[in-house]
Amino acid sequence: MGECSTIIKPAATLSALNQGDNMKQLDMNKLKTGMCAASKMKIRAPRILVVDDDVASLILMRTVLLAEHYLDVSVFQDAQKAQAAYQANQYDILIVDLRMPGLSGFDILRDLQARHNNSSSIIVLTANVEAGAEIRALKLGARKVFLKPFYIPDLIQEVKLAVKDMAA
- Taken in order 64, 81, 149, 153, is the CA torsion positive or negative? negative
Does residue 47 lie in a domain region?
yes
Tens of each residue's pLDDT in the chain, 168 residues = 333 333 333 333 354 444 433 333 344 444 444 444 444 445 678 999 999 999 999 999 999 999 999 999 999 999 999 999 998 998 999 999 999 998 999 999 999 888 766 788 999 998 877 888 999 999 999 999 999 889 999 999 999 999 999 887
User: How does DSSP classify residue 115?
Assistant: -
Q: Is residue 6 part of a domain?
A: no
Whether 142 is covered by a domain: the verdict is yes
This prediction has a pTM of: 0.75
Residue 32 lies in a domain: yes
Provide the β-strand partners of residue 47.
72
Task: Return the amino acid letter for 26.
Answer: L
Residues pairing with 166 in the sheet? none
Q: Would 3 be classed as within a structural domain? A: no
- Domain holding 157, by residue range, is 15-167
The pLDDT assigned to 12 comes to: 37
Q: Is residue 1 part of a domain?
A: no
Residue 87: half-sphere exposure toward Cβ, Cα within 13 Å: 10
Total of domains in the chain? 1
> Residue 75: its pLDDT value, please?
97
Q: Are 51 and 40 in contact (CB under 8 A)?
A: no
Residue 115: per-residue pLDDT? 79
The CATH number of the domain where 58 resides is what? 3.40.50.2300
**Residues whose CB falls within 8 Å of the CB of residue 16, separated by 6 or more in sequence, listed in order:** none
Domain annotation covers residue 41: yes
Q: Is residue 2 part of a domain?
A: no
pLDDT value of residue 113: 87
What torsion, rounded to 10 degrees, do the Cα atoms 132, 121, 109, 126 define? 50
